[in-house]
Amino acid sequence: MTHLFPDTDQSPLRRVLLALAMAGALGFGAAGVSPALADDDDDDHGEIHDGLREYYERLETEPGYASSHEEAVAKLVRGREINVPYDYIATLMRIPNAFGEGAACVLCHSSTDPEHSYRGLDLTTCEGIKTGATEEPARALFEPGHAEESVLRRYLRNNRMPYGVPFDAPRDTENIRTIKAWINDGAKNDEVFRTEVLPLMNNPRAFGGFQACTDCHMSNQEPPSFHELDLTTYEGIMLGADPIANAAEGKEPEIIVHPGDAEGSALYQRLVENRMPAGIEPSENRDHPNIQILMQWIDQGAKCE
């Protein structure tokens, strides 16, 4: 973690580094991941090389194949009903770098008193984790048994948009309120959408970052459009994310706008929810094994023993 609260104006160098880090994190140019393997099979290590070659082939052709020791751990834990004890969760909350480089969760979320703990969130006890944010608007972070749709999962995996926006960019701005009101008023293809909402999608400075939403979400083709998400038209916004990838698996696209429910819509959530721990680089592994283990604990009922 370089800066907890980086400068709003990012240098051109930082932008380039960010773009590179992002491309790497998302696996673009993945052809470069396999180290060049020696071609001569007649040396003493021929068999080892064969094993390695098979490993890298599977890595590139089988999407779920574990590519590292850490991913293997998560896969094995998720693969069976391995019981995740609260003790393990308590440790994760207390140590730095547990979910990617950054401070320990309990540093900033240590009591239900909002004067001393952000969102009045107490992650130091099992009860506190299950109670969630006590500051208004108070809310639970998850429902035991349902990790997938939990607030906690979003905060650990989802980057705030625009990608790379500084942690402390204001969240209660007029532009964000415009998006919120438009969704809550039914997300219609009306005058408000055309004259107020759509122009914000094309504006690089609209949400405190340095790039327009449509710079990265401009069609249903990935690459170049992240998550096959098209924010350039009403139809694209309402269609949602990953329409093609999901269709290939017989699934619907990820809906990002639920008319009448801004709080439950990814389009709004992505503008106001910072990824945790505060200040984490957006390119940090979003499938970190410890995130998956925490989700397994929730899915198993979030038991306190």
Does residue 118 bind ligand HEC (CB under 6 A)?
yes
Q: What phi, psi does 153 have (nearest 5°)? A: -60, -45
> Can residue 254 be called a binding residue for ligand HEC (CB under 6 A)?
yes
Task: State yes or no: residue 121 binds ligand HEC (CB under 6 A).
Answer: yes
- Binding of ligand HEC by 215 (CB under 6 A): yes
Residue 163 as a binder of ligand HEC (CB under 6 A): the answer is yes
Residue of 162, 166, 243, 289 that binds ligand HEC (CB under 6 A): 162
Interaction between residue 217 and ligand HEC (CB under 6 A)? yes
Helix spans in the chain (H): 12-25, 46-61, 69-79, 86-94, 105-108, 126-131, 151-157, 174-184, 191-192, 198-201, 213-216, 234-239, 243-248, 266-272, 289-299
- Cβ-based neighbour number of residue 214 at 10 Å: 20
Least separation in angstroms between CB 278 and ligand HEC: 4
Residue whose CB is less far from ligand HEC, 58 or 203: 203
Q: In the complex with ligand HEC, which residue's Cβ is closer, 242 or 299?
A: 242
Q: Give the separation between CA 201 and CA 262, rounded to whole angstroms.
A: 16
Residue from 14, 53, 75, 139 in contact with ligand HEC (CB under 6 A):
139
Residue 109 interacts with ligand HEC (CB under 6 A): yes or no: yes
Question: Nearest distance from residue 225's CB to ligand HEC, in Å?
Answer: 9
Residues 6+ apart with CB under 8 A from 103: 1, 96, 277, 278, 279
**210 and 13 in contact (C-beta within 8 Å)?**
no
**227 contacts ligand HEC (rule: CB under 6 A):** yes
Look at the block and give the residue holding tokens 């269609």: 239
- Sole binder of ligand HEC in the list 1, 108, 245, 304 (CB under 6 A): 108
| Measured distance CA(155)–CA(298) in Å, rounded | 15
The per-residue DSSP string of 190-250 comes to SHHIIIIIHHHHT-TTTTSSSS-HHHH-BSS-TTTSGGG-B-SSHHHHHH-B-HHHHHHTT
Is-cis flag, bond preceding 277, omega within 30? yes
Asked if 302 touches ligand HEC (CB under 6 A), the answer is no
Nearer to ligand HEC, 77 or 122 (CB): 122
Among 66, 90, 216, 245, binds ligand HEC (CB under 6 A): 216
103 binds ligand HEC (CB under 6 A): yes
List the structure tokens of 70.
């850490």
**Chain residues in the site for ligand HEC (CB under 6 A):** 22, 26, 99, 103, 105, 107-109, 118-119, 121, 132-133, 139, 141, 151-152, 155, 158-159, 161-163, 207, 211, 213, 215-217, 226-227, 229, 241-242, 254, 256, 266-267, 270, 273-274, 276-278
